[in-house]
Structure 1
């Protein structure tokens, strides 16, 4: 082995398997090309990283994939030969595949001919039928060209069920990061953190079909959140006239039905899609393009944009555009956990997104609520009204150490800004406090931003806090009641979680709000695969999920 290579690259044997080379590696594990000592059979070994073998959340995800792969037998799904714990290593033994991924195929050849794209799509859909019709159903959640292998004989295998979900599973496995998948191939419901169903995979199938036919992803761009917002809001660009002339009559319609934003508007199930693909004749081309569907990029008919001017409501696209143009404010958020997964390896990311209103009519009053402690008058902001763009208020924020910001300072400043907008503002929710050392808040990330929500007569007022400024504006979030007095601070809540055995790691964040069942205020500290809930009055750790 190469001198200086990582320990995982210097492995020569795992149990009865001789290691030949490393196929791929990522945040969760490593995949080896290996041979079985007794039979000489060529296999692929997927091994959980040794530094993760003691982490319950990582082990749970790996065991989840083991169980799923053991229960799926289909010619278009990579076959699991066995699973074991060998010398302290969690190992999946998979069939070795000779060929190249669909990603490599597209990069080498460009768009596929329609007949070939249909053949690949039929193989993928056949695999989905097997997974979705299993009891309980299995949803892959991460279909993409990197996870589809084109073998030398032209057959297709679906790989990497690392973030797949058995719909009957206990929800705790993905409690802290409900939206998982890869950004370019993520469905609107995944991006918005809504429940996944088999129709989630159908949207991804539509994305893969679109890319096979055009040679490029449906949505792309430099911004992760920009891509997500297109999946949630933007209409997919139609095929060019030249391409449509070469497509079977029903393929164009099928692709865009698969790409419907609402799951109930997509085809009924994978078997329905498979029947339609099998009935297609590559020689029967699509009819002429409707004059209303130009071959150039399409702009979605956002009702919200017109409504924003008339009734004060903004849709997500308009919100993000407004945030981006005047001051380059970061993306506003309700937690979206995204797993960016390489070929057979998962790497977690966290993103955030929410919407707001443009204007609000305020009725100032002279008295503040007795439930919220008095706040000293806010310092005169250096920003002028025009520099705030269309926000209601803004002011600079320069904490001494942006990587370790005191929560109390953030709360005080956010409350000051909120009460400049509405003197009766009462704290109702806090979201996305990235936990740093010493139970402080880290605001150094490229898009690191925390949100302090306040109940005001007109609805929900949000103050976005980041390392350079604070910005207040109304949101379209449903009005929430004020929180009771906060007697358990952010620092004490984190300390209570740690004392209860909760492991704080990079990208952990905390929210404060009212629990939907108990109706009590609580801190929720979340990371990939686990969450701790701390009573915001007593600081008691009353629930820990993994």
Structure 2
């Protein structure tokens, strides 16, 4: 049973759940506005003061973000030892569902975008979602990002990885993350490449039934050429995607600015 209230929010229904926690539709009793309330799992009975301080610092960073493609974050707090974030509520499709309904379009003579979309990808793929306005409004396509790495911040403090578990969605992990090596912005760019590859082909670059087989593919094999999977794909986008998911960080784009410049060519 979901909690009836979390901080100043009245829980209305459960929207989704996964390894990182649960997302609820909730009502802010102060303003009467609906929000998406994400109650994060800490992997333990309570959240210590140090982890709470880190969550507060992370929220301060998120609160400063103001971009039409980034979901708005309103408030952070702790409920019964578990941290929560109140975010903008956006209705729509998951990325997985969007790819399912769009996949066949990739192989038709005149491919089309069947839904304008807004992507909300969180630390767990279970939460990843895409929002679609009315089908007649294809000119209003918009992508929303909703993944701020909070699971990793909490893992460092609350001991989620004490037993050696990896944080994040397996298919989006860069090789260096699988190997337990230091991570930097190029690891995030790898994840961006996986998403771009999926959006262009309808499938991830690597896929398997078990994490260990998936990791073997990521570390040892090359993905199928995008343009062989999507005959209508844009060659420049395909080149960008393939470079983003190269095994060695030094072989990828080094900054998001470089990616932007490549997409602008």
TM-score > 0.5, shorter chain as reference: yes
Deviations 1:486-540 (A, max 9, x none): xxxxxxxxxxxxxxxxxxxxxxxxxxxxxxxxxxxxxxxxxxxxxxxxxxxxxxx
Partner residue of 1:182 out of 144, 169, 186? 169
Task: Classify the secondary structure of the residue corresponding to 2:99.
Answer: helix
Do the aligned partners of 2:20 and 2:123 also contact (CA within 8 Å) in 1?
no
TM-superposed CA distance for 1:234, in Å, is: 0.6
**1:150 and 2:131 correspond:** yes
Change (3 A) 1:59 1:42: same
TM-score by length of 2: 0.76
Partner residue of 2:92 out of 73, 83, 99? 99
Deviations 1:33-74 (A, max 9, x none): 012223221111122459945243875775565354334332
Query: For residue 368 of structure 1, what is the aligned residue in structure 2?
Result: none
Query: For residue 69 of structure 1, what is the aligned residue in structure 2?
Result: 62
Query: For residue 19 of structure 1, what is the aligned residue in structure 2?
Result: 11
What is the RMSD computed on CA atoms of the aligned residues? 3.8
Change (3 A) 1:41 1:187: same
Change (3 A) 1:73 1:219: same
Do the aligned partners of 2:253 and 2:259 also contact (CA within 8 Å) in 1?
yes
Partner residue of 1:213 out of 183, 200, 222? 200
Query: For residue 387 of structure 1, what is the aligned residue in structure 2?
Result: none
More strand by share: 1
Do the aligned partners of 1:24 and 1:30 also contact (CA within 8 Å) in 2?
yes
Instruction: Give 5+ residue unaligned stretches, structure 2.
Output: 134-139
Instruction: Give 5+ residue unaligned stretches, structure 1.
Output: 1-5, 128-139, 280-546
Partner residue of 1:268 out of 254, 259, 262? 254
Alignment of 1:135-534 (within 5 A): 142=123, 146-152=127-133, 153-161=140-148, 162-164=150-152, 176=162, 179-241=166-228, 243-244=230-231, 246-279=232-265
TM-score by length of 1: 0.40
- Give the whole-Å Cα distance in 1 for the aligned partners of 2:257 and 2:152: 19
Task: Classify the secondary structure of the residue corresponding to 2:93.
Answer: strand
**1:82 and 2:111 correspond:** no
- Give the whole-Å Cα distance in 1 for the aligned partners of 2:81 and 2:59: 16
- Give the whole-Å Cα distance in 2 for the aligned partners of 1:271 and 1:115: 29
Task: Classify the secondary structure of the residue corresponding to 1:100.
Answer: coil
Query: For residue 335 of structure 1, what is the aligned residue in structure 2?
Result: none
Change (3 A) 1:144 1:24: closer
Query: For residue 510 of structure 1, what is the aligned residue in structure 2?
Result: none
More helix by share: 2
- Give the whole-Å Cα distance in 2 for the aligned partners of 1:50 and 1:240: 42
Count of paired positions: 249
Query: For residue 30 of structure 2, what is the aligned residue in structure 1?
Result: 38
Change (3 A) 1:220 1:263: same
TM-superposed CA distance for 1:148, in Å, is: 4.8
> Max radius of gyration: which structure?
1
TM-superposed CA distance for 1:218, in Å, is: 1.4
Higher relative contact order (CA 8 A, sep 6+): 2
TM-superposed CA distance for 1:238, in Å, is: 1.3
Task: Classify the secondary structure of the residue corresponding to 2:200.
Answer: helix
TM-superposed CA distance for 1:151, in Å, is: 4.1
248-257 or 223-232: bigger deviation: 248-257
Change (3 A) 1:145 1:25: closer
Deviations 1:345-368 (A, max 9, x none): xxxxxxxxxxxxxxxxxxxxxxxx
TM-superposed CA distance for 1:12, in Å, is: 2.9
- Give the whole-Å Cα distance in 1 for the aligned partners of 2:157 and 2:11: 36
